[in-house]
Amino acid sequence: MHRVAWVRFIRNAAAVTAAVAGAVLPGCVSAYKQSVGSDSVRTFQRIFLTDFNIAWESVLVALKSSRLDVSNREGGVVLTKWTDNTAERNFTDSFGSADSYLKAQYRFRVTVAKGFYNGKPSVKVSVQKDQLVQRDVLEGWRSVESDEVDENTLLYRIGRTIHLKTELAKIEEERIKKELENVEF
């Protein structure tokens, strides 16, 4: 019986060690990345089962409120111009202790790439947000990590636009098919 208790103790200790390491190590890694100056910009991506034309149009529709700097269809790249978001970055509630910024600006980089997913044509859309802030005149621009909301929102808008365009194309195809069946030669 003593051996069984020892095996249980080892299993529990291993589980606790794994849980603690899983909770502590990601924080250590992000602190390490910040200390060595690693690129803190993340790229969010999603695969859509559609053709390139619909995905490209959907990206342009989702970014219609932003001014475009680069729109290269052959390369599958869309880059927006820098947009001032100082007011949004400085907005805090009455109990907030967030840092205030002199200036803040961001831009989106969206790439659209053709591919295949399980033998079907697909498109991979990647979104990256570059956020720069300036605390005072002497500091200069500094890149900060995004809160991931804008990237996920943009991917959601692109996905919904792709879905709507696909459904409208199906409805139009069915309507044309019915009209052709009703036409007498």
pLDDT digits (tens, 9 = 90+) for 61-71: 999 999 999 99
CA angle 53, 56, 60 (to 5 degrees): 140
The highest-confidence range among 93-102, 119-128, 137-146, by mean pLDDT, is 119-128
Domain ranges (residues) in the chain: 45-180
Could you tell me whether strands 142-144 and 83-84 are parallel, antiparallel, or unpaired per DSSP bridges?
A: unpaired
20 or 66, which is more confident? 66
Q: Kindly report the pTM of this predicted structure.
A: 0.71
For the chain, give the mean pLDDT: 84
Architecture of domain 45-180: 2-Layer Sandwich (3.30)
C-alpha distances in Å from residue 18, one per residue of 6, 15, 22, 26: 18, 5, 6, 13
Q: Sign (positive/negative) of CA torsion 132, 148, 108, 26?
A: positive
Between helices 149-182 and 52-62, what is the axis angle to 10°?
130
- DSSP-H helix ranges across the chain: 2-36, 52-62, 86-90, 149-182
Q: What is the pLDDT of residues 28-51, one digit of tens each?
A: 544 444 545 555 668 899 999 999
